[in-house]
A and B are shown apart, each in its own frame.
Chain A
Amino acid sequence: QVQLVQSGAEVKKPGASVKVSCKASGYTFTSYDINWVRQATGQGLEWMGWMNPNSGNTVYAQKFQGRVSMTKSTSISTAYMELSSLRSEDTAVYYCARSIAVAGNWYFDLWGRGTLVTVSS
């Protein structure tokens, strides 16, 4: 079954870091980029960045530069997103999503179920 399975909910204190995992199954992990998108409660979708699981190359949104790190473990087909220096505004559901490119157009065809990260003192 083609799917992305994310790790469970996290509660963190301000200033801490969180690392969310995203395990791919049913397809070749290194053949598709993995993106991370977050959504605060009742709000819209915000793209954080992407990682190429083959090369490990990453592109981060400027907003998260210096605070986010996207990595992978190819042997277990898992992508990771670590966000540091957490603040209350980082409370959100974090999604991983697979992207495909057709004629230069990227689209996200497979999503994980999301991981709720709550930042609270």
Chain B
Amino acid sequence: DIQMTQSPSSLSASVGDRVTITCRASQSISNFLNWYQQKPGQAPNLLIYAASSLQNGVPSRFSGSASGTDFTLTISGLQPEDFATYYCQQTYSTPFTFGPGTKVDIK
């Protein structure tokens, strides 16, 4: 199985900050990497697919990039509604595995 790691596991940030979350795959997954946001008591919500494509309706302050087996989710100008947990997911091969998540909370 492909293992996904995320760093940091949590971070504290202020409204307006630029936030970067990193996800690393245990082997090459091409660009088959997605990012989801999950708020407490809610289902995950797709933000980014194929490493860097913004899902319809997702604000442009969210962006994704890739370099080899390292992937980055960037939030440019954190908003109050962005405080949540973020998960990466690989869909290169089954089982589709998720990273352990990064919790973003208010500083």
Contacts and interface: CB of A to CB of B under 8 A. Distances in A.
Nearest to A114: B43
Contacts of B95: 47, 49, 61-63
Interface residues of B, number: 27
B87 A45 contact: yes
A45 B31 contact: no
Contacts of B49: 102, 105, 107, 109
Contacts of B50: 102-103, 105, 107
B96 A47 contact: yes
A107 B34 contact: yes
A47 B90 CA distance: 11
A9 interface: no
A45 B43 contact: no
Give the dominant DSSP class at A's interface.
Answer: strand
B12 interface: no
Give the dominant DSSP class at B's interface.
Answer: loop
Interface residues of A, number: 27
Interface in B59-107: 87, 89, 91, 94-101
Given A61-B94, A103-B50, A108 B44 contact: yes
B46 interface: yes
Interface of B: 1, 30-32, 34, 36, 38, 42-46, 49-50, 53, 55, 87, 89, 91, 94-101
13 contacts: A44-B100, A45-B36, A45-B44, A61-B94, A62-B1, A97-B43, A105-B49, A105-B91, A106-B32, A107-B46, A107-B91, A108-B46, A113-B43
